[in-house]
């Protein structure tokens, strides 16, 4: 394994997460199941905020607040004319009542979904499911609050649907893979910055759902060697590199790989083993707060690229920075999906995958290069640089105009 050149002086510790108060917090309790849900609007710009809706057992208000703050950072960092929000439901998405719980949550949040909150998929809630719920509520599609503002809502809805459902190589849909494509190019940009050829770069990915799976696919297509992937059942390892497309074909609807059909030569390891894999780049793409002070000592990767929201705790990030390990923050590395969605809404890209891929590739490489240049030359953590971008968003006057 070739080691990249990193800052010889430890970078400044990652700053504590900014704790400015959200614009709005809403709390909901489902009378039929006792499920609890939250909407947090961190910032409202032009009357709009954007952020997905997640469902998992144990989801908390604090978690949703952190995620909404991250969404506000994403929209500001990518110069999008909206604020950041997040929805969360404390309920098991595998429970047979989960769809009905999601429907009742969206019905309760309808005043915000109708006029201010643009939501989408997140952990436990795939895009096709939330779109089904919106259709049932006569809201057409989960970008409804933005689409209804456009000069021609019918044409805008058609553009959005065509973009989300555009076919791409591998048998995927553009809307399902664009976020992972962005993560993959954050990794590729890091390799370029440190002079690593794709074939000489090793990767470990925690999570092979929508985001992690797409990132794995595009990294494999680029020639990088993915030696370890993990899902809820454990870590799969092969020193020579995994056949990523074959493994992705074995996933179920929850992003878990069928162990009974694994190709030969793959070693099965505990779930946490992916974090300590001896690789160049570690991609946590599963859950929030995956990297903590306790397990940060085990990490051997030279850079961490956050594909999951809030994947690294502030304390763990400070410890990693002191060791010379940068963390490319989620609000840059995994922001491709939200940036692309708004480019699509605003008519800046169409349903051509090549147009979308080209714009996101260029944007991601530029931002990662700036982050890592500041890390190596000025000893400033990528998160702090990203926060400086987010703290100085482009000016916005009046409501958001959607063509």
For residues 42 and 66, give the distance between their C-alpha atoms in angstroms, rounded to a whole number. Answer: 9
Out of 74, 86, 225, 367, pick the active-site residue.
86
Beta bridge mates, 56: 90
Share of the chain above pLDDT 70, in %: 93
Alpha helix (H) ranges present in 124-283? 127-136, 144-147, 153-164, 174-193, 210-221, 244-248
Statement to judge: residues 228 and 310 lie in one domain: yes
* Residues 348-367, mean pLDDT to the nearest whole number: 96
What's the pLDDT tens digit per position in 102-157?
999 999 999 999 999 999 999 999 999 999 999 999 999 999 999 999 999 999 99
Q: Is 94 a catalytic residue?
A: no
DSSP three-state, residue 125? strand
Tens digit of each residue's pLDDT (9 = 90 or more) over 86-98: 999 999 999 999 9
- Please state which of the ranges 168-172, 251-255, 335-339 shows the lowest mean pLDDT: 251-255
Distance between CA atoms of residues 315 and 321, nearest Å? 10
- Residue 2 pLDDT grade (very low, low, confident, very high; cuts 50, 70, 90): very low
With CA atoms as reference, report the closest residue to 145 among 101, 109, 181, 115.
Answer: 115
- The reply to whether 140 falls in a domain is yes
Assess if residue 164 is contained within a domain: no
Same domain, yes or no: 176 and 121: no
Average pLDDT over residues 358-374: 97
Cβ atoms of residues 94 and 21 within 8 Å: no
3-state secondary structure of 293: helix
Counting other chains too, the contacts that 8-13 makes at CB distance below 8 Å and 24 or more residues apart are 9/379, 10/321, 10/322, 10/323, 10/324, 10/379, 11/321, 11/324, 11/326, 11/375, 11/379, 11/380, 11/381, 12/321, 12/379, 12/380, 12/381, 12/384, 13/317, 13/318, 13/321, 13/322, 13/381
Are 251 and 358 contained in the same domain? Answer: yes
Query: Are residue 308 and residue 189 in the same domain, yes or no?
Result: yes
Average pLDDT over residues 284-312: 96
Looking at the structure, tell me whether residues 115 and 194 fall in a common domain: no
What is the phi-psi region of residue 205: left when phi exceeds 0, alpha when psi lies from -120 to 50, beta otherwise? beta
Tokens representing 44?
């409202």
Average pLDDT over the chain, rounded to an integer: 92
Predicted local confidence at residue 369, as pLDDT:
97
Residue 79 lies in a domain: yes
Q: Same domain, yes or no, for 107 and 249?
A: no
Q: Tell me: do 371 and 242 sit in the same domain.
A: yes
The tokens describing 271, both together, are 């779930």
Does residue 47 lie within any of the structural domains? yes
Spatial distance between the Cα atoms of 283 and 285, rounded to a whole number of angstroms: 6
Residue 14: inside a domain, yes or no? no
State yes or no: pLDDT of 314 exceeds 70.
yes
Domain count, the chain: 2
The domain spanning residue 115 has which CATH number? 3.40.50.10860
pLDDT band at 19 (very low <50, low <70, confident <90, very high): low
Within-domain flag for 11: no
Strands 225-231 and 234-237: antiparallel
What is the pLDDT at residue 8? 36
**Residues recorded for the chain:** 403
Domain containing 57 equals: 24-152
Same domain for 221 and 144: no
């Amino acid at each position: 394994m070739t080691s990249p050149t990193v800052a010889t002086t430890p970078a400044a510790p990652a700053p504590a997460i900014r704790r400015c108060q959200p614009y709005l917090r809403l709390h909901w309790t489902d009378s039929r199941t006792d499920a609890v849900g939250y909407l947090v609007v961190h910032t409202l710009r032009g009357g709009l905020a954007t952020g997905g809706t997640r469902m998992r057992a144990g989801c908390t208000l604090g978690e949703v607040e952190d995620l909404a703050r991250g969404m506000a950072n994403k929209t500001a960092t990518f110069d999008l004319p909206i604020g950041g929000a997040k929805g969360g439901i404390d309920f098991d998405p595998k429970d047979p009542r989960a769809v009905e719980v999601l429907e009742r949550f969206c019905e309760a949040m309808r005043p915000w979904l109708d006029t201010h909150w643009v939501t989408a998929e997140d952990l436990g809630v795939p895009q096709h499911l939330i779109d089904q719920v919106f259709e049932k509520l006569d809201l057409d599609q989960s970008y409804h609050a933005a689409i209804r503002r456009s000069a021609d809502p019918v044409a805008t809805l058609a553009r959005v649907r065509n973009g989300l459902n555009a076919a791409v190589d591998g048998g995927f849909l553009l809307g399902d893979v664009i976020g992972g494509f962005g993560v993959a190019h954050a990794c590729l940009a890091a390799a370029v910055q440190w002079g690593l050829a794709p074939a000489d770069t090793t990767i470990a990915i925690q999570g092979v759902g929508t985001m992690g799976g797409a990132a794995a696919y595009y990294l494999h297509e680029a020639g990088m060697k993915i030696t370890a992937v993990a899902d809820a059942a454990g870590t799969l390892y092969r020193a020579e590199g995994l056949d990523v497309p074959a493994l992705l074909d074995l996933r179920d609807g929850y992003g878990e790989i069928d162990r009974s059909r694994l190709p030969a030569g793959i070693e099965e390891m505990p779930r946490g083993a992916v974090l300590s894999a001896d690789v160049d780049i570690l991609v946590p793409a599963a859950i929030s707060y995956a990297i903590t002070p306790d397990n940060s000592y085990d990490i051997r990767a030279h850079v961490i690229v956050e594909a999951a929201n809030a994947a690294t705790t502030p304390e763990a990030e400070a410890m990693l920075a002191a060791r010379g390990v940068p963390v490319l923050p989620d609000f840059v590395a995994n922001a491709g999906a939200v940036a692309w969605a708004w480019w699509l809404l605003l008519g800046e890209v169409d349903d051509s995958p090549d147009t979308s891929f080209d714009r996101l590739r260029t944007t991601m490489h530029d931002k990662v290069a700036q982050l890592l240049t500041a890390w190596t030359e000025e000893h400033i953590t990528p998160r702090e640089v990203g926060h400086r971008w987010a703290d100085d968003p482009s000016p916005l006057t009046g409501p958001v105009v959607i063509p």
